[in-house]
Amino acid sequence: MSNPQQLRYSKEHEWLSVAEDGVSTVGITEFAANALGDVVYAQLPEVGASVTAGETCGELESTKSVSDLYSPVSGEIVEFNQDVVDDPALVNTAPFEGGWLFKVRVAEEPDDLLSAEEYAALTHSDN
């Protein structure tokens, strides 16, 4: 499994794009999607909601379990992926592309986000 080099990663298995005009895209990693199994339901944060780095902001339900979704940064939600709400399997089939979860106007980015190499070491996956 390959973690895109341009992304940052949280220890809770979310990825974060580099902010463009202060807005970053957030999703879960392929590692997390594989661990969850087939995602059948996604509860994503609403537009305008405030999120705090490391705190719960939604959940993903799979055929195996329900997993909390954590925000890797603090900020305000500017968009959520309606395609994932309509077809949660996108989280499994395209976690780094069409399976993104939400976009956030970043107010604060924590210092403990990981590079692709650091995340691969955390998950013991090939990079």
Query: For residue 126, what pLDDT band results from cuts at 50, 70 and 90?
Result: low
How far apart CA 56 and CA 102 sit, in angstroms, is: 13
74 and 106 Cβ atoms separated by less than 8 Å: yes
Q: What percent of the chain has pLDDT over 70?
A: 97
**Residue with structure tokens 């537009």?**
47
- Six-digit token pair at 63? 């055929």
Instruction: Please give the average per-residue pLDDT across 8-25, as a whole number.
Output: 94
What pLDDT does 118 receive? 95
Give the model's confidence band at 125: pLDDT under 50 very low, under 70 low, under 90 confident, else very high: low
DSSP, res 37 = -
> 41-69 pLDDT, tens per residue?
999 999 999 999 999 999 999 998 999 99
In this prediction the pTM is: 0.93
